[in-house]
Homo-oligomer: A and B are copies of this chain.
Amino acid sequence: MTYHLLIEARDRMGLIHSISGVLYEFGLNIEQNNEFVDPGHGRFFMRTEFSGDIDESILAAAISSRLPDVLIRISPKSEKKVVVMVTKEPHCLGDLLIRARYRELGMDILAVVSNHHGLRDLVEGFGVPYHHVPHEGRNREEHEHDILEIIKEYDPEYVVLAKYMRILSSSFVGQFPHRIINIHHSFLPAFIGAAPYKQAYERGVKIIGATAHFVNDELDDGPIITQGVIPINHTFSALDMAQAGRDVEKQVLAKALKLVFDDRVFIFGKKTIIFE
């Protein structure tokens, strides 16, 4: 069996030697190994992919006994359970459904939740449950409460916002710390907020982009996972930009999810460390 071991610690001499020593003693075979030290913060990050027979908690305990102050995550390489939230646009959702069906992203889509009903046929065509949670006549708190009820039934490891166009409250976000991933339709931090393609059109930029990021309390300000761009020119209307942007959005989101679901992403402050 293959496992992912993620370690974060205050940097000091001998860390790699100590950790690799524990793996060696357990007879585990290191298949991939990456380290990074953030020199400004004296912070050490390590990701190891190893194979062997092991009880995760025993291994974690062995590392902890030698290095008491390090943060340890160990998990078997496996598919992550995901609920996807959408509004009206099908391009990201459609791409995720296809990829999930053919097991491309290390992701199992348990359900799709939407504040509209337009994407039901698409989703159900893939045999995935679709929950329409209308926001009409409900305030944000009530609406989010309804959504939470549904999500909690599925108990997902991650919530993916695949063009969900309503802003989530801090209280909602706080339920899933570092576990909500959003695709934003601009090259953040350019064009924060609403209608980024309109903003881009008016500014006359020559490249547009998309950004996949973890969602935190501040709008469009969570740790960035991946960004992508596409060249445009003067012939593009704001609508053409949105259309061109869709392809980038779905690529960027898929790439980000693949990295996160393969346990390659650390969050440190408002940044990510990613071992590709």
Please report which residues of chain A, range 176-233, place their CB below 8 angstroms from some CB of chain B when the two chains form the complex.
Answer: 187-191, 203-207, 209, 223-229, 233
On whether the beta carbons of B17 and A13 are closer than 8 Å, the reply is no
Q: Which residues of B contact A223 (CB under 8 A)?
A: 204
Please report which residues of chain A, range 11-48, place their CB below 8 angstroms from some CB of chain B when the two chains form the complex.
Answer: 13-14, 16-17, 20-21, 23-24, 27-40
On whether the beta carbons of B206 and A224 are closer than 8 Å, the reply is yes
Interface residue? A54 (CB, 8 A): no
Q: How far is the CB of A53 from chain B (nearest CB, A)?
A: 14
Task: Identify the stretch in A57-65, A67-75, A93-101 within 8 Å (CB) of chain B at 4 or more residues.
Answer: A93-101
Copies of this chain held together in the complex: 4
Contact of A16 among B20, B38, B102, B226 (CB under 8 A): B20
Interface residue? A122 (CB, 8 A): yes
Q: Of residues A17, A38, A102, A125, which shows the largest number of chain B Cβ atoms within 10 Å of its Cβ?
A: A17
Contact of A187 among B40, B187, B251, B274 (CB under 8 A): B187
On whether the beta carbons of A24 and B17 are closer than 8 Å, the reply is yes
Q: Which residues of B contact A254 (CB under 8 A)?
A: 247
Question: Can you identify 7 A-B contacts, CB atoms within 8 angstroms?
Answer: A14-B24, A38-B234, A95-B98, A101-B122, A188-B203, A233-B276, A234-B272
List residues of A whose CB falls within 8 A of some B CB. Answer: 13-14, 16-17, 20-21, 23-24, 27-40, 90-91, 94-95, 98, 101-102, 104, 122, 125-126, 187-191, 203-207, 209, 223-229, 233-235, 237, 243, 247, 251, 254, 270-274, 276
7 new A-B contacts, CB < 8 A, other than A13-B24, A17-B24, are A16-B33, A17-B23, A90-B102, A187-B207, A189-B203, A204-B224, A204-B271
